[in-house]
Structure 1
Amino acid sequence: MDIKSDFYHNHRLIQVDIVKTLPYEEFKYFNKSTIQLFKLAYPHRSKIFTEEYFDWRYEKCFGGSAKFICLFESTKLIGQGVIFQQTLFHNGEKLKVAQLVDLVVHPDHRSFSAVRKIYKASKDQLENSQFDLAFALPNSNSIKLNQRLLKLELALPIHSFLTLFSPFTSIENQYCEIYDRNKEYISSEVLDFLKQPESEIMWNEQSIKNRLNDPHHKFGFVYNKDTLLVVSPRKLRGIRCVVIFAIFRKTNNTISKKEWRQLNNAAAKMFKTPFILFVGHNNLLPKPFGIKVSRWIKSAEKPVQILRLNNDTYFEDFSRLELLDLDIL
């Protein structure tokens, strides 16, 4: 009997809501139900919710060791929450970190009782999995629920910074590559940046490919001899821009303003737009390196909630926390 039929056999007579925590190998049989849940919950983004998208998101992106908290009515998936397991680097120490994402309940079954069951199972997973830290990047509806049911505390928000660079400036000693997810090719020059001590703990050739294999978005690399930017062209609020997902550097020195300008000019030229957006923080960046977008657009400031489990690190203490490490866009 296969996993799917065995699961159905074990639960086919149960008529009340049940919660089960599944690894992806079992959860993937419910992908079509997940697609339906997300299309109902986020109709304005329904086009991106495909089997290919969820295969990437849950199996590759952050999902290698993800846990899926599933709420069933009999054998029907009516709600879920997901715990992504990540490794972050702080003061020479590897931290096992949980990111709480994708809490969604079918509109016909939404109730405080249903949500509480998902939260309770999530809390059990966090307490039993030896995580150092758990965090969420909640929407406005989830903040109070996270505080009440998981005791998550508000931390400093993640900010977005906008800069303008000419896409017509000639560039020297800056190199650009488009990442082709079909070929999964990354040059040796780019891979060299991942071999630095701090980078190597968090990323390697396969994990960076998994992260960039998003079926809906392009990625590219801009680099010189010392610094690498991982970038992606996006359209945010109707404006075409380049989003910087990560910065890798072969030295621990702060990037000079001249070097930062040259790299951003190369990124602007690569994707033919003057707007460059950086989300998160990195201690190697020159200051000031951009205009804080949340001064004009409130939604550009992303709330953060944390739960310190086996470590006293504050979220804002990380020297580097960027989109490559987070599930935001």
Structure 2
Amino acid sequence: MITVSEETAVDYEITARIATEAFGSKEVVFSAQRMKWLYESGFGQGSAIVAVFDDGKKVGQIALLHQKVYLDGKPAAATQLVDLFILQAYRSHHLVRRIYKEVERLCQAGGIRLVLTLPNANSALLNERFLKVRPFLSLQARIGVSFWWPRASKLRYSGLLKSMNEPEAIELLSGFVTPAAENGLHWNAETLFDRMNDPTRDYAVHATADLLLISSSRKTRGIRHTLLCGFFARPDAAVASSAVRELIRAACRFWKHRIFVYAGINNRLPRLPGIVLPARLRPPILVQLRDFDTDEPDLRFDRFQLIDSDFV
């Protein structure tokens, strides 16, 4: 018998194996270690898993990563949908509908106001049909080239997060806590530290007195580049364009990649880094949203960057 319910004791080895099989691509291999980190501590607010079982055998799931959002100075509970997969033999619109019904029930029972998701083309249609989410943001990929010499003189820090012990990292990050007046996902020093502790990826942090950048080395279509995962401004600071350029140079110097890529919105920056890539080369990243408080949401985010998602 097929059942759909919240999974309270997750076997990550089995879940990673099923996810890899369900995606059916040699380029997509799920890591049990990363899934455990992502679900349990990646966003600092915990998670819920809606799983599909066939007589006790797991055959599919969707994960809800709980987050905290500020809207006009007030906190709102949010969750981000990730990792929807069902083994090929079990796929049907009826089963997908049951999964989304359980997602909806858990959100309403848990007082979740906002649902966010960054879907691929197939998932976008399912999300819209079964969960009534709507397009919210379109994040354009931006690219640039940085010439990193001479070495910047105003940097307070530039290096791997893992090269610092936790107290040192927390002290550095504590100056860049998300202010309540800024609409978007809220990060404090501890949750931002946890977010960068992905066991399968390395992150570097670069900071001036007023601005912090999180970066990572990535490879896309054979081209290595510095991914600018997110900028965080010190509350009440006026961020200068020179500080943005200085941090980008520091990140590119650290990873030894001259090309950098950024996708997101951030109203604290004088301007977004780089130039927009044509859609034929990299379509914008769609962010969908549902507000359980209203059928006609009128929301704005001041900041939403790749670090706010499970994309990086």
TM-score by shorter chain over 0.5:
yes
How far did 1:165 drift?
0.7
In the alignment, the residues of structure 2 paired with residue 309 and residue 126 of structure 1 have an alpha-carbon distance, to the nearest angstrom, of: 9
In the alignment, the residues of structure 2 paired with residue 147 and residue 193 of structure 1 have an alpha-carbon distance, to the nearest angstrom, of: 38
Classify 1:259/1:151 alpha carbon distance in 2 versus 1 (closer, same or farther; 3 Å): same
Please give the per-residue CA displacement for 1:134-166, whole angstroms capped at 9, x wherever unaligned: 121111111221121111112231222212111
Contact 1:252/1:284, CA 8 A, preserved across alignment: no
What amino acid is aligned across from residue 249 of structure 1 in structure 2? A
Aligned-residue identity in percent: 26
Contact 1:179/1:186, CA 8 A, preserved across alignment: no
Matches within 5 A, 1:51-200: 51-62=32-43, 64-174=45-155, 175-180=157-162, 183-184=165-166, 186-187=168-169, 190-195=172-177, 197-198=179-180
How far did 1:72 drift?
0.5
1:40 is paired with a residue whose SS is helix
Match of 2:210 among 197, 207, 226: 226
Larger radius of gyration: 1
Contact 1:254/1:283, CA 8 A, preserved across alignment: no
Give the superposed CA RMSD.
Answer: 2.4
In the alignment, the residues of structure 2 paired with residue 207 and residue 104 of structure 1 have an alpha-carbon distance, to the nearest angstrom, of: 27
Classify 1:63/1:179 alpha carbon distance in 2 versus 1 (closer, same or farther; 3 Å): closer
1:238 maps to: 222
Classify 1:314/1:328 alpha carbon distance in 2 versus 1 (closer, same or farther; 3 Å): farther
Contact 1:167/1:272, CA 8 A, preserved across alignment: no
Unmatched runs of 5 consecutive residues or more in structure 1: 1-15
Classify 1:192/1:125 alpha carbon distance in 2 versus 1 (closer, same or farther; 3 Å): closer
1:285 is paired with a residue whose SS is coil
2:301 maps to: 318
What amino acid is aligned across from residue 271 of structure 2 in structure 1? K
What amino acid is aligned across from residue 286 of structure 1 in structure 2? P
In the alignment, the residues of structure 1 paired with residue 189 and residue 238 of structure 2 have an alpha-carbon distance, to the nearest angstrom, of: 25
Contact 1:133/1:308, CA 8 A, preserved across alignment: yes
In the alignment, the residues of structure 1 paired with residue 266 and residue 22 of structure 2 have an alpha-carbon distance, to the nearest angstrom, of: 33
Classify 1:191/1:143 alpha carbon distance in 2 versus 1 (closer, same or farther; 3 Å): closer
How far did 1:253 drift?
4.9
Classify 1:148/1:285 alpha carbon distance in 2 versus 1 (closer, same or farther; 3 Å): same
Match of 1:36 among 4, 10, 17: 17
Contact 2:176/2:234, CA 8 A, preserved across alignment: no
How far did 1:206 drift?
2.9
What amino acid is aligned across from residue 133 of structure 1 in structure 2? L
In the alignment, the residues of structure 1 paired with residue 164 and residue 237 of structure 2 have an alpha-carbon distance, to the nearest angstrom, of: 35
How many residues in Structure 1 have an aligned counterpart in Structure 2? Answer: 306
Tell me whether 78-87 or 127-136 shows the greater mean CA deviation: 127-136
Contact 1:279/1:322, CA 8 A, preserved across alignment: yes
How far did 1:254 drift?
4.8
1:255 maps to: 239
How far did 1:18 drift?
0.5
In the alignment, the residues of structure 1 paired with residue 239 and residue 246 of structure 2 have an alpha-carbon distance, to the nearest angstrom, of: 11
Greater fraction of residues in helix: 1
Unmatched runs of 5 consecutive residues or more in structure 2: none
Q: TM-score, normalised by structure 1?
A: 0.85
Classify 1:272/1:141 alpha carbon distance in 2 versus 1 (closer, same or farther; 3 Å): same
1:235 is paired with a residue whose SS is strand
Contact 2:60/2:86, CA 8 A, preserved across alignment: yes
How far did 1:52 drift?
1.4
What amino acid is aligned across from residue 18 of structure 1 in structure 2? T
